[in-house]
Structure 1
């Protein structure tokens, strides 16, 4: 039943359980392949990212668990790496030299009018306050900044999977209903996904928010475009709690089939493979 997940966060960053608990939960639920992807270190401390001085422990714990459960599940290690600027992003040598099985590239933060870093991966209520108070109520500017970060991350590379590709869309829709139907936004999305296709990245269908907000990242309306552009996809739940590792997966797989997809990418025997959707 395509029971895989490569986007999850344990106690090394902002997850709510240790790495082994996630793996044991995956095994008990019939998962065949599983990956942990803690938030990578940033140049400054945050409550939700790992610190560099814990990296060796993170990798050692992964190897211990991988060996312990080798006969029960394929276990892989990755990182979710933020694009912050040209000096801190998935392409820098410090990340590329790590012995990882895969890397997720994501954007969570922007710089406001005064050049200060702002986390925009927040609730709709907090997002509204950020746009009003730190970007002079200019939602269009915030959106363009977000996608300019995405475009630059795509250009620099250094990752395998594009994380929650258009996560900005939900908060932006809450701020201005009807946004997704505005021609300029639709054209931006076509340019964005076309760039992804040309760059050859895999895109996760992030199902974390489906049961909460009724949407995937990217939005389901773009699934046919992903199919048309030949972009390989996978379903990841972005789980921060073990019981959420399968959240929204059946619904995401069904949506992909409706859009014409007949396979998703899974990591088996150390290689990415297109596996039929059951």
Structure 2
């Protein structure tokens, strides 16, 4: 296994993950991983089945400290959150950093808030919920819904300054090319405007493979053209399996790596105590089999 194999987007049973932190660490060590970050979904102010509970925040911190004490000599371990951004509703990323002494935050949008009605469109979960929410919140107007999604992502980047922008174009996933195609000019324009803001403010864009290995979508977030645009703008890229159970660690990494190689990525960044550092992609390819590198 590659000595620099890593996972910086990792869920445990503190949120919607399926295994304990210890079990994830054991699997990571067995696979020969170098680094692992736990990034549970941050609490949100409504009932749900996927996020960390407010009352479990310090348990989350304490559990991480325990696994770091146990496994830290064999694995570089970091603590983060995947924090949702819903304007006027979610806790500021600064507060999460301060409270839990986090190494970094992944900023993500899973629920799009219509600025006119205040209703929320859940873009994740089952495809039928995507269509139902689009009809209820946006009266079926997919362009307005998607534009609000990207506007919300841009607002998050400007106001919260996440270290990583999570699955930046995930709004396309449950669409499944039914209501629009990601090659349409209006979609590309809004998406690329969002990347311009990433460049302006700073931040890392992840190449997230979860849609592929879960059978929900045929390409990563972002797609190859989006990755190439990141490279043109000089936006740092990292690889993300968005792991929810230990078995997904390596498989998801390999799929993200394949997409990076296809897009022509030369370097991705890894988190270190002194910040994000570039690592040549060939360092992974020599140990992981991809379709593009033999």
TM-score by length of 2: 0.88
Cα offset, 1:252, TM superposition: 2.3
Deviations 1:216-254 (A, max 9, x none): 011222111111111101111111111111233223223
| Whole-angstrom distance in 2 between the partners of 1:242 and 1:270 | 27
The answer for the alignment partner of 1:251 in structure 2 is 255
Match for residue 242 of structure 2 among 238, 243, 247: 238
Stretch deviating more after TM superposition (179-188 or 201-210): 179-188
Equivalent residue for 1:57?
59
What CA deviation, in whole Å up to 9, does each residue of 1:125-159 have, x standing for no partner?
32122212332111111101111110110110242
- Tell me what 1:133 maps to: 136
Which residue of 2 is the match for residue 70 of structure 1? 72
Report the Cα offset of residue 263 of structure 1.
1.3
Deviation at 1:114, TM superposition (A): 4.3
Matches of 1:41 and 1:118, distance apart in 2: 18
Query: Which one of 169, 172, 184 corresponds to residue 169 of structure 1?
Result: 172
Equivalent position of 2:17 in the other structure: 15
Q: Is the 8 A contact 1:16 1:241 kept in 2?
A: yes
Q: Distance in 1 between matches of 2:158 and 2:271?
A: 24
Q: Check 1:124–1:232 CA distance in 2 against 1; reply closer, same or farther (3 A cut).
A: same
Match for residue 271 of structure 1? Answer: 275
Aligned to 2:286: none
Rounded Cα–Cα distance in structure 1 between residues aligned with 2:91 and 2:157: 10
| Native 8 Å contact 1:227 1:260 kept in 2 | no
Query: Which residue number in structure 2 is paired with residue 122 of structure 1?
Result: 125
Asked if 2 retains the 8 angstrom alpha-carbon contact of 1:127 and 1:171, the reply is yes
Is residue 215 of structure 1 aligned with residue 219 of structure 2?
yes
**Aligned match of 1:38 in 24, 37, 40?**
40
Answer yes or no: is the 8 Å Cα contact 1:207–1:237 preserved in 2.
yes
Contact kept, 8 Å, 1:124 with 1:175, in 2: the verdict is: no
Q: 1:261 aligns with which of 257, 262, 265?
A: 265
Secondary structure of 2:210's aligned partner: coil
Cα contact 1:89–1:153 (8 A) shared by 2: no
Aligned match of 1:186: 188
Q: Residue 37 of structure 1: CA displacement?
A: 0.4
The answer to whether residue 164 in structure 2 is matched with residue 157 in structure 1 is no
Structure 1 runs not aligned, ≥5 long: none
Shift of residue 172 of structure 1? 2.9
CA–CA separation in structure 1 for the residues paired with 2:219 and 2:68: 33
Kept in 2: contact 1:8–1:239 (CA 8 A): yes
- Distance in 1, matches of 2:97 and 2:204, equals 19
Cα distance in structure 1, aligned partners of 2:29 and 2:57 = 25
- Give the match for residue 148 of structure 1: 151
Q: Is the 8 A contact 2:79 2:102 kept in 1?
A: yes
Residues in 2 aligned to 1:91 and 1:35: alpha-carbon distance in whole angstroms: 17
For residue 6 of structure 2, what is the aligned residue in structure 1? 4
Q: What is the distance in 1 between the residues matched to 2:88 and 2:113?
A: 14
- Mapped to 2, the partners of 1:14 and 1:158 lie a distance apart of 25
